Amino acid sequence: MKYNFDSLIDRTHTSSVKYDLRQAVFDKSDVIPMWVADMDFETPAFIRDAVIRRAKHPVYGYTFREKDYYQPVVAWMQSHHNWTIRREEIVFSPGVVPALSFAVMAFTKPGDKIIVQPPVYPPITRAVSDHGRIVVNNQLIREEITYLVDFALLEEQAKDAKMLILCNPHNPVGRCWSRGELERIAQICLENHVMVFSDEIHADLVIPGFRHQVFANLSPEASGITLTAHAPSKTFNLAGLSSSSVIITNPALRATFSQMIEKMHLGMGNLFGSVASTAAYEQGEPWRLQLIDYLYENISFTETFIRENITALHMFRPEGTYMIWLDFRAYGLDDKALRSKLIHEAGLGFNPGTEFGPGGEGFMRMNIACPRSTLMIALGQLGRMLSGG
Ligand SMILES: Cc1ncc(COP(=O)(O)O)c(C=O)c1O
C-alpha cells in the first residue's frame, strides 16, 4: 500500500499546540508552523481504526495494560534495534518528558549535578533545573558539518556528577551517536559511577545511511546504569496520546523508578494510548519505511534549495529526527531581530536556537515533517526574506 504524505490537513481548531497556539507564541496566527515536534501527516489509518474500535465501546473506565501491550514493544526492540529485552523490563510512563523528571527525582537529590549536552531539547535541561538539581553543560563541539561530544570536558564533569541525560538521536543537531562515541561515554560514566538516562524517542526516525545504536545495548555494564526512554509517539504521530516506555534492565533501578511512578499515581496512562501503541508496533513498519523515505526527500530538498538559493545559510544535515538545525550567524542579526524577521517578514514559526541552551545563539530549528508543498512555500519565503526581497 502506498501512503500519502502530500495531503494538506487542516489542523486548526483541534487544540493543536503547533497550530492553535501560534498567536500566543509568535504573536501572529498565520505563520507556517515549523516548530513543535509533531508531524503534519495523518496518523496512519490502522492506528486510527484501532482507537475508533475501542472508542466505540461505550465505557471508558479505569484501565490497565494487558500482556499484549508489552510483547509488541519487546518484538520491536528486537527487530529494529537488535536489542533483546524482557517484558518485565518495560515500565510505562505517560511520556518521555515526565520520565525525565521522575528519573531526576528518583535517583538524585537537590544540589546534585546532572550533565546535559547542549544545544539540546529544552525539557531535558528543565527536568534538571526545575527540581533544584545543578545543570552541567557538556556543550557539543560544532564542526564544519557536524557536532561532536567534548570527551575531555565530559571526563572532568563526570567526576562529581550523578547522572548524564543523553539525547540519541540528538535533538536538535540530528546526530545519531556512533557506537564508538557511545562506548566512550559509557566508559566515562561507568568509571565515575554516573547513571545515564538515554532519551531515544527519535530512534525509529533514522535517515538512510545511518543507524541507531541503543546505548544500553552496548554491553551489560552500560545497561546496568541506564534507563532508556522509547515511544511510538514521534514515529507514528501520537504525541497527544501520552504513552512511552522506559526500559530498565537493572532490577534495582527499575524498582526505584517504578515506585516513583506509583507514588505519583501515573501508572495507569491513557486507554487510547495503549491501543494506539500496540497497533503502531504491530502494524506500523510499512508506514514507517515510507515515512522515512518522505522525510529523507524533504531533507534533501531543503538542502538543495538552501545550497542553490540561500548560500549564506548553513544547514546541518540530520542523521536522525525530522528537525533541521539552521545556522543564521552569517547574517549578523541578533537573536531577537532574527526571530522577529522570520515571523513578520517570512511568516515562519521556527524554534529559536537560544531555547536549546549554550551554542544555540544565531541558530533556528526547523521541523520539516510536513507535505512537500508546504516546505516549498516555507523555503521560498525564507529565501526571499534573506535576500531582502
Ligand atoms: C528528545 C525528545 N524527548 C522527548 C520528547 C517528548 O516526549 P513526550 O512527548 O513523550 O513527553 C521530544 C519531543 O520533541 C524530544 O524531541
Question: What is the residue-averaged pLDDT of the chain?
Answer: 97
pLDDT in tens, 74-107: 999 999 999 999 999 999 999 999 999 999 999 9
- Residues 260-268: what's their mean pLDDT? 95
d(CA 151, CA 164): 13
- Does some domain include residue 80? yes
Question: What residues make up the domain containing 166?
Answer: 60-283
Last residue of a domain, one of 240, 263, 283: 283
Last residue of a domain, one of 224, 249, 283: 283
* Ligand 1 nearest atom to the CA of residue 120, by list position: 1
User: Looking at residue 346, what is its pLDDT?
Assistant: 97
Give the model's confidence band at 389: pLDDT under 50 very low, under 70 low, under 90 confident, else very high.
low
Give the residue, out of 200, 234, 246, with the most ligand 1 atoms within 8 A of its beta carbon, to mutate for a pocket test: 234
Task: Examine the domain organization and report whether 164 and 233 are in the same domain.
Answer: yes
Is the model's pLDDT at 209 over the cut of 80? yes
User: 243 CB less than 6 Å from ligand 1?
Assistant: no
Task: Examine the domain organization and report whether 82 and 209 are in the same domain.
Answer: yes
- Residues 280-291: what's their mean pLDDT? 98
Task: Examine the domain organization and report whether 71 and 161 are in the same domain.
Answer: yes
- Does some domain include residue 4? no
pLDDT in tens, 287-313: 999 999 999 999 999 999 999 999 999
Last residue of a domain, one of 256, 283, 310: 283
Task: Examine the domain organization and report whether 173 and 260 are in the same domain.
Answer: yes
d(CA 225, CA 103): 12
Give the model's confidence band at 204: pLDDT under 50 very low, under 70 low, under 90 confident, else very high.
very high
User: 244 CB less than 6 Å from ligand 1?
Assistant: yes
Q: Are residues 100 and 123 in contact, defined by beta-carbon separation less than 8 angstroms?
A: yes
User: pTM of this prediction?
Assistant: 0.97
pLDDT in tens, 319-331: 999 999 999 999 9
How many independent structural domains does the chain possess?
A: 2
User: 38 CB less than 6 Å from ligand 1?
Assistant: no
User: Looking at residue 388, what is its pLDDT?
Assistant: 78
User: Looking at residue 68, what is its pLDDT?
Assistant: 87
Q: Are residues 354 and 118 in contact, defined by beta-carbon separation less than 8 angstroms?
A: no
User: Looking at residue 67, what is its pLDDT?
Assistant: 84
Q: Are residues 326 and 366 in contact, defined by beta-carbon separation less than 8 angstroms?
A: yes
CATH code (residue 330): 3.90.1150.10
- Does some domain include residue 109? yes
Task: Examine the domain organization and report whether 318 and 269 are in the same domain.
Answer: no
Is the model's pLDDT at 181 over the cut of 80? yes
Task: Examine the domain organization and report whether 348 and 225 are in the same domain.
Answer: no
Q: Is 270 exposed, middle or buried (0-12, 13-18, 19+ CB in 10 A)?
A: middle
Q: Among 273, 365, 352, which residue's Cα sits nearest to residue 65?
A: 273
pLDDT in tens, 217-259: 999 999 999 999 999 999 999 999 999 999 999 999 999 999 9
Give the model's confidence band at 18: pLDDT under 50 very low, under 70 low, under 90 confident, else very high.
very high
Is the model's pLDDT at 43 over the cut of 90? yes
Task: Examine the domain organization and report whether 244 and 294 are in the same domain.
Answer: no
- Does some domain include residue 54? no
Q: Among 187, 132, 141, which residue's Cα sits nearest to residue 164?
A: 187
- Does some domain include residue 10? no
Task: Examine the domain organization and report whether 264 and 303 are in the same domain.
Answer: no
* Ligand 1 nearest atom to the CA of residue 38, by list position: 14
- Does some domain include residue 7? no
- Closest residue CA from atom 13 of ligand 1: 37
Is the model's pLDDT at 152 over the cut of 80? yes
- Does some domain include residue 134? yes
d(CA 29, CA 24): 8
Task: Examine the domain organization and report whether 135 and 275 are in the same domain.
Answer: yes
What percentage of residues in the chain have a pLDDT greater than 90? 98
271-283 helix and 45-56 helix, angle to the nearest 10 degrees: 140
Task: Examine the domain organization and report whether 327 and 272 are in the same domain.
Answer: no
Chain Cα centroid distance, residue 24: 23
pLDDT in tens, 160-170: 999 999 999 99
User: 227 CB less than 6 Å from ligand 1?
Assistant: no
CB-CB neighbours of 114 under 10 Å: 27
C-alpha cell at 294: 518522505
Cα 201 to middle of ligand 1, angstroms: 6
Task: Give the residue carrying C-alpha cell 481504526.
Answer: 49
Task: Examine the domain organization and report whether 297 and 233 are in the same domain.
Answer: no
- Does some domain include residue 230? yes
Task: Examine the domain organization and report whether 279 and 289 are in the same domain.
Answer: no
User: 121 CB less than 6 Å from ligand 1?
Assistant: yes
